[in-house]
Amino acid sequence: MQFEDLKLIDPLLRAVRAEGYTEPTPIQVQAIPQVLEGKDLLGCAQTGTGKTAAFALPIMQRLSAAPSPSNRPIRVLVLAPTRELATQIGESFRSYGRNLPLKQVTIFGGVGQNPQVDALRRSPDILVATPGRLLDLMNQGYIRFDRLEVLVLDEADRMLDMGFIHDVKRIIAALPKQRQTLLFSATMPQDIQDLANSILNNPVYVEVTPQATTVEKIQQAIYFVEKNDKRSLLVHLLSDKAVKRTLVFTRTKHRANQLVKHLSTASIHAEAIHGNKSQSAREKALSNFKSGVTRVLVATDIAARGIDVDDITHVINFDLPNESESYVHRIGRTARAGASGIAFSFCEEEERPYLVDIERLIRMNVPVVENHPYASKLGVPSPTDLSGRRSGNGSRPSSNRSSHSNGQRPQRDANGSNNPARRRRYPTR
């Protein structure tokens, strides 16, 4: 399947060619024809699947088929949970629309509103926004949606997790009922289905890369480690040159900052990205990471949402997430648009239940690296082990420091296999 087969107009075809895309991704193949026909759509897909182009391309094609009325109203609204994701979506519209005379504006909180208000006065066709700031500006009378044609809710599950549901509902209540609505979500829990039922009209459902198959492409490994040894283990892993562009996740902003400091004492340049940083500091950290100036970016879950950086070689879960869906989001940062990647996770005693949940969700038993310098006693097989794994050898730091080979294939897992894709089946929740 080629982009040409999707009946895209020449200005868009030239733009995707300029982006270097050779063929559409599965979500693009499924979604583009439906959106072009004006249908509502419920898309189960995570970031990294090419979903932005899956909605941006056909939306822009529809806009250019019917040129703007003379008073130039906002015709498309895209809601995204975080500033980073909103910015990326805005940038995608700009790149894909480079050969079309469409204007787009992105607005989000955490920065002064005046430049955004000025931008809105320049009559954008497409508005990309985070819910809080949008509602603010709507309440101040700066934005009207009476001629809105298309609404996109991106990463709807995250939007709900972040407590935006009331804002989102208020915004939707102010939109024309007659419109096309697209809702994308990485997961489809009941509350998302309820929201979808209430705002979508006879939607087409498209689903790509269900979680288990996405994670299969990623070479995953667990390191059982004592809490106090996590930092040393991280420094040890980062001493391998094969661990290049690395995204490290911590549970809290404070831990992210602490870790950056610790890494710098080990002469490893790292930067942190999280909600307490100013917008400009976050953008700087992200662009340094993108350009390779910074090798290690330490992030919290929310800040990392939608980080769109190609060629992340490793994701390291310094702390395991307590929400198993976050694990899938996190490690998905390393396998963008078909690439493969490596994800290491540190697991201390208290995080063991999180690991059980994660393995249940992804329906596989993540291989354990048994021989590493900081292996904890957690690696010792336990007959009551809920996940059914027999893992680790409890080896002590001094005895096997040299035998560890990070960045290479993980050691054998419970099934005697060193193939990360080998799976155990768990009942789904």
Give the interface with ligand AMP as residue ranges (CB under 6 A): 21, 24-25, 28, 47-53, 308, 310, 336-337
Closer by beta carbon to ligand AMP, 24 or else 373: 24
Closer by beta carbon to ligand AMP, 3 or else 346: 3
Q: How far apart are CA 16 and CA 267, in angstroms?
A: 40
Shortest separation between residue 171's beta carbon and ligand AMP, angstroms: 22
Shortest separation between residue 328's beta carbon and ligand AMP, angstroms: 14
Q: Cα 107 to chain center, whole Å?
A: 20
Residue with tokens 């879960």: 317
Q: How many Cα atoms sit within 13 Å of 423 on the Cβ side?
A: 16
Closer by beta carbon to ligand AMP, 28 or else 30: 28
407: exposed, middle or buried (Cβ count in 10 Å: 0-12, 13-18, 19+) = middle
Closer by beta carbon to ligand AMP, 306 or else 379: 306
Closer by beta carbon to ligand AMP, 18 or else 337: 337
Shortest separation between residue 257's beta carbon and ligand AMP, angstroms: 27
Give the residues across from 41 on adjacent strands: 182, 204
Closer by beta carbon to ligand AMP, 49 or else 64: 49
Q: How far apart are CA 159 and CA 82, in angstroms?
A: 8
Shortest separation between residue 208's beta carbon and ligand AMP, angstroms: 10
* Helix/strand/coil for 303: helix
Closer by beta carbon to ligand AMP, 48 or else 392: 48
Shortest separation between residue 53's beta carbon and ligand AMP, angstroms: 5
Closer by beta carbon to ligand AMP, 49 or else 106: 49
Shortest separation between residue 83's beta carbon and ligand AMP, angstroms: 15
> What one-character-per-residue DSSP string does 191-249 give?
HHHHHHHHH-SS-EEEE-S-HHHHHHTEEEEEEEB-GGGHHHHHHHHHTSTT--SEEEE
Closer by beta carbon to ligand AMP, 155 or else 319: 155
Shortest separation between residue 195's beta carbon and ligand AMP, angstroms: 21
Shortest separation between residue 128's beta carbon and ligand AMP, angstroms: 13
Strand order in the sheet with 204-207: 104-107, 126-129, 76-79, 150-153, 180-185, 41-44, 204-207
Shortest separation between residue 42's beta carbon and ligand AMP, angstroms: 16
Q: Cα 147 to chain center, whole Å?
A: 31
Which residues, at least 6 apart from 82, have a Cβ–Cβ distance to it below 8 Å? 108, 130, 158, 162, 302, 303, 305, 306
Q: How far apart are CA 224 and CA 1, in angstroms?
A: 44
Q: How far apart are CA 196 and CA 184, in angstroms?
A: 10
> Which is nearest to 134 in space by CA: 177, 86, 93, 95?
86
Shortest separation between residue 291's beta carbon and ligand AMP, angstroms: 15
Measured over the CA atoms of residue 28, residue 30, residue 31 and residue 35, the dihedral's sign is positive
> Which is nearest to 52 in space by CA: 184, 213, 250, 162?
184
Give the dihedral of Cα atoms 191, 195, 198, 202; nearest 10 deg. Answer: -110
Closer by beta carbon to ligand AMP, 157 or else 167: 157
Closer by beta carbon to ligand AMP, 21 or else 142: 21
Shortest separation between residue 353's beta carbon and ligand AMP, angstroms: 31
> Which is nearest to 289 in space by CA: 260, 254, 318, 328?
260
